[in-house]
Every structure is written in C-alpha cells, then in structure tokens.
Amino acid sequence: MRDRPKQIPPVALVILGTMLAIVLLAIFKPSAPTRDVSERHDRVRYVLAEPGAHSPSIQLFGRVQSPRAADLTAVVTANVTSIPVRAGSKVSAGQLLIQLDDTEASLARDRAKASRDEAAAQLQTTRLRYQSDRKSLALEKKLAKLSEDNLQRLQSLRGKNLVSQTQLDQAEEAKARAELSLSQRQLSVSDFENELARMEARLASAEAQLQQAELDLTRTRVEAPFDGTVTDIPVAPGERVRPGEPLLSLFADAELEVRAQIPERYLAAVRDGLGQGELAASTELEGRTLALNLKRLAGDASDARGGTFFLRLEFQTPELDCSREALRNNFASRVAEPYGMQWQISYASEKKRMAVMVSRHDHVIMDLLWRTSRGDLPATIPMVISNHEDLRGEVERFGIEYHHIPVSGDNKAEAEAKALALLEGQVDVIVLARYMQILSSDFVSHHPHRIINIHHSFLPAFVGANPYQQAHDRGVKLIGATSHYVTEDLDQGPIIEQNVQRVSHRHSAEELKSLGQDVERQVMLRAVRWHLEDRVIVDGNKTVVFVK
C-alpha cells in the first residue's frame, strides 16, 4: 500500500489562484485605443478698442420738475360759473381757465364808484364854501366895525341922556353878535387847509377802493399766466370759493428740468466740467431716452423729498471673521465712500463714559446714578462736577469722584478751564443734571453735540426764579420738560425729547414743582439712553431719533 501525497492547505490555494489570475489578465489584456494628442486652446473673449474721446459718467437719481409752476387761488368771494379746461389740458398764456360769478364784484365796484363820486362832490363843496367864507369874512369885518362905532356913539349920547338904556343894551348885544359871527367865519377860513386835506384824503381813499373793486372784478376771470399744462382743478362749477382757496394748478411744460443731487465726491469734477462749458447728460422718461444739458449747480437738496436719507442699522456678529479695523475699512471703501455717506460704527459692548454736572437739585442726578449703578444705562460715570458741595455725600456713596469747582462772575473762565482739564479725554458725553450755570461758547465747542441739558418747558414764558410759582399764578394747564443738546445759543440746541403733564387749578405751586421734576427725570432719562445707544442723529438744528 502506497502513501498518499500531502494535501495543500486552502489558504495557499487561494493565494496561488489569485496570482495566476493576475498573470493571465496581464498577458491577455486588450490594448487601449490610441488617441491623437492635439494642442489645447482656452476660450478668450475679446473686445475691439475703438480710438476716440471718452468722458467719465455718473448715474444719478432725480426728479423732473418745472422751474415755473403756479397754484392759482381765489382772490374774491364768488361762485364758480364755468371751467372750460380739464386736468391735463394744454393752455396758452391769457387763456380763460376758470370763470367766477362777477355779480358781487360788480356791485362792489358800483358801490366804490358811488363813494368816489360822493367824496369828489364833498371836495368841490369844500372849495366853494371856502370862497364864500372869504367873501363873507370881509362883510363880517365891516358889520363888526359898524356895530362897534354905533355902540360908541350911543354911549356918548347916553352920557347926555339923549338915548335910553335899552337902546344902549341893544347896541352892545349887536356888537357881541357881530364879533361872534366874525370869529366863527375866521375859524372856518383858517381851517380850510385842514378840511381840504381831509377831503382830498377821503377822495384818494375812495379812488383806491374803486381801483381795488375794478381789479377784483377782473380777477373773476382766472387766466393762464403762461403756456403750460393743467395738473389739478380742486373745484367744480357751482362751488363757492373764498380768498386764498385753491382753484387750479399748472406748470410750464416747455421749460422742464431734471433735478438730481450730486454726491460731494463728484462736485469738484462737475464744477471743472461746467467751467469748460455745458455737460451732456440723458434721462429715461416714460420709456424714452431724452438728451439733456447740465447748465448750472444749485444749492443743497437736503429736504425730505429727495436729499438726506437717515438710517440706523443694528446687527449682531457672534462669529465675526475679521477685525474691527478691517470691518471699518471694508465698509468705507465698498459702501460709504461710493455713496457719499456720513457714517460711524459703534459697539454696544463698549459703554460710554458719562460725566454729570450738577448744582443743588438732586432729582435728575440721583435717578441717573441709581440706574447706572444697576446697569440700566449702558454707561459708566467717572466723575461728577458741581459748583456746590451739597451733593458730595450722595455722589461718593456710589463710589464716584466728586469735584467741587466754585463758579462766580469773577472766576467763570478759570472754573471752566478746570472743568475742561478734568473732562479732557476722560468722557464721551456730558449731562447737565440741573447745572444752573450758563456754559460759554468756548466750553461748548470742546464737546459739540455731546452735552445734554434739561429744563422745564415754561421757557421763554416764565424765566428767572421760581418758574412754577409763576406758572401757578397764571393758571397753566400743562407743564413739561425739554431735553436738548447744548449749543452756543442758550436753550436753543437740537431737541432730543419732550413730554408734558396735564395739571389743573387744584394743584398748588409745590405740587406743580413735584410733577415737573418727575417729568424732567423721565425726559432726561430717555434722552440720555438714546444718546448712549447711538439712536440720535443731529441734522442742523434738529435731531432724528430712532426710538424702539
């Protein structure tokens, strides 16, 4: 019996089979088809440059308007008789637009004419009476002389008992009557110049009234002052209009202008271009492109219809991937500068440093100190400055430095200099919590739009000491407070916040004062909070406040 050959392990068989398969695939692998290698070309866009004169251009947004537009109003009280035009009608200068009933105006003209004729007649009568008085004056003088001579003759005869006492008395009476008549006539002649001036003035007044009446009569016919297009007719036939009420609006369509605000960064280039002649422009109007010429630069265009746009944008950046400096630089270059913005970026996490200046009244400062200490106001108070020592203990209890700087008429400049030295570089805003001193223009100029004041709303009605007693004596029905930025003009700075409280005759002067102080606290708190949260933008002498 022969021995059996040793059996090959299964793992070795798998390995040998795999190697055999790889060798066979490598031997009998089909060859890959050959491809011709060609040169690769990328697509390139090209533009043919055409030599020529090219000018920079800017795109603006504006409005089309006419430099000649009119809102015609009624001058007389009358009924509308007819309106031969409609809104959108083309009209020519002198064309009838609205006809008013002229009946009342005609009657007024007739009355004025009658008054004029009466005044002229009175003037002529005065002149004739003067001529008559001058003739009568000569006769009166003769009669007075005869009466005096007769009296003297009778007195001589009376001494000889040739006439009776009755005859003598009658002669004296005749002499007295002659003298009285002469005096009155002389007065009438002497007053002629004054009477003549009065009559001439009355006639001139009547003439003026007649001219006005005739003018009003012509104004019952409302005509177009220039060639143009009617835009609005707010009245209808049969309506009664009174002086000042609108009748019709139109504009001169042959003199249209496109008004647009040019960003400040382009103004210098535009001015240079205008210095060399008119600048070409175009506009899109009703789907048509119209050629324009820029002829002149006007003033500001910062009214509410097309000038300044105010925006406060608050956003959170929990995963900001750039530094604050990079954010500012990118915003400036990509957004602010291309659109000519005035802007700033502030961070809510950075509390502003707020200094408080106060005199003796504590109702405002204590509210600010308490709310700041509780974190209700996003600020820190590094110092309090006062011209009195009264509130030192109350302030230092909050751990705040208290600086006493006395102020008098002799050392006001020195005192302000000390205060400025303390504030320089140490604060972001100054709050006048009933600081009863007037700050100089020099002091205010160091902190423009960063000094907030509060005062009662009685100004300028009740100035001086004890305004609440003055208000009580006058029986006011409203009391209030105003918070504003301090400027060089006393109590005339841009207003931030105001509020009022209704009162009655039942409130005493002390109660008015207490209510007024409550309002002052509330108004000052809101004004300070809005400033600290960067919700206030100063625009000229007013503010734009973004309230929650």
**Distance (Å, whole) CA 295 – CA 255:** 13
**Distance (Å, whole) CA 74 – CA 244:** 5
**Distance (Å, whole) CA 544 – CA 535:** 8
**Half-sphere exposure for 279 (CA within 13 Å, toward CB):** 17
CA–CA distances in Å: residue 457 to residues 15, 468, 479 = 104, 11, 7
**Half-sphere exposure for 251 (CA within 13 Å, toward CB):** 13
Query: Coil, strand or helix: which one is 354?
Result: strand
The alpha helices in 101-253, defined as continuous H runs, are 103-159, 165-190, 192-218
DSSP 79-101: EEEE----TT-EE-TT-EEEEE-
248, 222 Cβ separation under 8 angstroms:
yes
Among 491, 518, 534, 539, the active-site one is 491
Active site residue 491: yes
Report CA dihedral (175, 178, 183, 184) to the nearest 10 degrees: 140
520, 361 Cβ separation under 8 angstroms:
no
Query: Coil, strand or helix: which one is 432?
Result: strand
Q: How many CB atoms lie within 10 A of CB 128?
A: 10
Hey, which residues does 380 pair with through a beta bridge? Answer: 353
Two structure tokens written together for 548: 């929650």
Active-site annotation, residues:
491
